[in-house]
């Protein structure tokens, strides 16, 4: 049934209800428009803009379902950290099996919904089952990568007291975990769901990593707020990124011609990018061992083992303030770590 026919049916039902109940004829609660008139106006807008309504859908994706899925995956990956009961070595097999059963059911359902959302309805259920099996088989590899990330956090942040603290409290490791899981689904051709997963993490952490981005092992995000990693970004191994960093596209003009094109930079191994730096362009390569200082704006490739920094700003002091004549100096500010 088309959205237009459904909306007409809804309008008819609303009008019938309005005549029988009388509440829609009361203009006193609606200012210039009665409730009935406002209802008609909104339904008319539904007819005009059918692309942003969803009526009589059998299955729907939503934040609640995506959030529940992520939490179950986190429970599986970091066993014992987020489970509702303490795990014991003699019962962990049953715990993992039960969790996998629940995850398998949820994943098949959500992946089928995602496939149906783009019109692939005929084989959605079967395809969802195949993809779910392939995705779950990659969990051990994802866990191995995340173990290197936790190690990178511990080695890179002197404020971290233990791996447990990182897993339980660091927003960066949460965002990386969701990104790695969403990337696997993205690589398996699942539409919509991977992006919803990373945007869910984005809303919780302030870290925006597109599921299409490729990220190597030992990835470290410190603080994290305001980080943006674009779809076609490639990040190597042992890379450190601080808050406010953008790995973006150089241009968003002629959007339709840019789909599927590499628009975002490549960051090679052992690169450190300090807070507020912006790096743009699909042809931009940040070579191995490069250190990029805070607030740098880069649109061209940087050769390996190079240090890039913004010239230190000149600080001015008003003479009327106490101690104004004290000389003030500071080193290059880009390598200061909070």
The answer on 180 and 80 residing in a single domain is yes
Residue pair 222/239 in contact by the 8 Å Cβ criterion = no
Q: What is the largest CA-CA distance in the chain?
A: 82
Boundary-marking domain end, from 207, 238, 256: 207
- Structure token digits, residue 193: 């769901």
Q: Give me the phi and psi of 282, to 5 degrees please.
A: -70, -25
The answer on 85 and 65 residing in a single domain is yes
| Residue 326 pLDDT > 60 | no
Question: Which of 165-174, 246-255, 257-266, 268-277 is least confident?
Answer: 246-255
- Domain co-membership, 64 together with 197: yes
Look up the domain containing 304 and give its range. 226-338
C-beta of residue 149 within 8 angstroms of C-beta of residue 171:
no
Q: What pLDDT score does 55 carry? A: 73
Same-domain pairing of 76 and 191: yes
Q: Is the pLDDT confidence value at 141 over 60?
A: yes
> Does 215 fall in a domain?
no
Domain co-membership, 35 together with 87: no
Nearest-10 crossing angle of helices 35-48, 3-21: 180
Does 203 share its domain with 64? Answer: yes
Q: Are 172 and 222 in contact (CB under 8 A)?
A: yes
Cβ-Cβ contacts under 8 Å for 22 (sequence gap 6 or more): none
The answer on pLDDT for 22 being more than 60 is: no
Whether 258 and 334 share a structural domain: yes
Are residues 95 and 180 located together in one domain of the fold?
Answer: yes
Condensed to tens digits (0 to 9), the pLDDT of residues 167-207 reads: 999 999 999 999 999 999 999 999 999 999 999 999 999 99
First-last CA distance in the chain: 58
Backbone φ and ψ of 5, nearest 5°:
-65, -40
| pTM (global) more than 0.85 | no
Amino acid 257: pLDDT: 67
Question: What is the CB neighbour count within 10 angstroms for residue 80?
Answer: 12
In a domain, 219, yes or no: no
Q: pLDDT tens digits, residue range 45-77?
A: 988 888 787 776 666 677 899 999 999 999 999
User: Which of 201, 195, 204, 208 has the alpha carbon at shortest distance from 178?
Assistant: 201
Do the beta carbons of residue 186 and residue 116 sit within 8 Å?
A: no
Tally of structural domains, the chain: 3
Domain presence at residue 216: no
H-type alpha helices, 124-170: 124-136, 139-156, 163-169
- Residue 12: is its pLDDT beyond 60? no
Residues 163 and 297 in one domain: no
Range among 26-40, 45-59, 224-238, 324-338 rated most confident: 224-238
Between 16 and 305, the more confident residue is 305
Greatest mean pLDDT among 21-25, 47-51, 56-60, 245-249 lies in 245-249
d(CA 218, CA 199): 22
> Tokens in use for 23?
């509440």
Query: Does residue 148 sit within a domain?
Result: yes
- Domain end, chosen from 155, 174, 207, is at 207
Q: What are phi and psi of 240, to 5 degrees?
A: -115, 130
pLDDT averaged over the chain?
86
Strands 307-308 and 208-209: unpaired
Same domain, residue pair 45 and 112 = no
169 and 243 fall within a common domain:
no
Note the pLDDT of residue 32. Answer: 53
Beta bridge partners of 273: 241, 292
């Amino acid at each position: 049934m088309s959205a237009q026919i459904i909306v007409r049916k809804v309008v008819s039902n609303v009008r019938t209800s309005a005549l029988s109940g009388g509440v829609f004829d009361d203009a006193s609660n609606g200012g210039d428009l009665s409730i009935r008139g406002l209802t008609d106006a909104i339904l008319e807008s539904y007819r005009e803009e059918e692309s942003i309504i969803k009526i009589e859908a059998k299955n729907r994706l939503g934040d609640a379902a995506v959030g529940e899925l992520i939490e179950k995956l986190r429970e599986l990956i970091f066993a014992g950290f987020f489970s509702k009961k303490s795990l014991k070595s003699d019962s962990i097999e049953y715990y993992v099996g039960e969790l996998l059963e629940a995850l398998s059911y949820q994943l098949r359902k959500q992946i089928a919904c995602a496939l149906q959302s783009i019109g692939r309805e005929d084989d959605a259920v079967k395809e969802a089952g195949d993809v779910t099996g392939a995705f779950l088989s990659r969990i051990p590899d994802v866990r191995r990568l995340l173990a290197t990330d936790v190690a990178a956090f511990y080695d890179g942040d002197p404020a971290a007291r233990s791996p447990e603290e990182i897993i339980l409290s660091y927003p960066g490791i949460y965002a990386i975990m969701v990104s790695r899981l969403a990337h696997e689904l993205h690589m398996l051709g699942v539409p919509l769901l991977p992006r919803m997963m990373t945007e869910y993490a984005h809303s919780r952490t302030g870290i925006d990593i597109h599921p299409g981005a490729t990220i190597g092992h030992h990835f470290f995000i410190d603080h994290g707020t305001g980080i943006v990693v674009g779809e076609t970004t490639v990040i190597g191994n042992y890379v450190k990124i601080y808050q406010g960093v953008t790995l973006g596209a150089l241009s968003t003009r002629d959007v339709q011609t840019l789909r599927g094109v590499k628009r975002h930079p490549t960051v090679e191994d052992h690169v450190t990018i300090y807070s507020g730096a912006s790096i743009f362009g699909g042809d931009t390569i940040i070579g191995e061992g490069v250190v990029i200082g805070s607030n740098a704006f880069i649109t061209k490739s940087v050769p390996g083992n190079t240090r890039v920094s913004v010239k230190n700003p000149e600080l001015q002091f008003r003479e009327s303030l106490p101690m104004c004549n004290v000389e003030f100096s500071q080193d290059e500010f880009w390598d200061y770590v909070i």
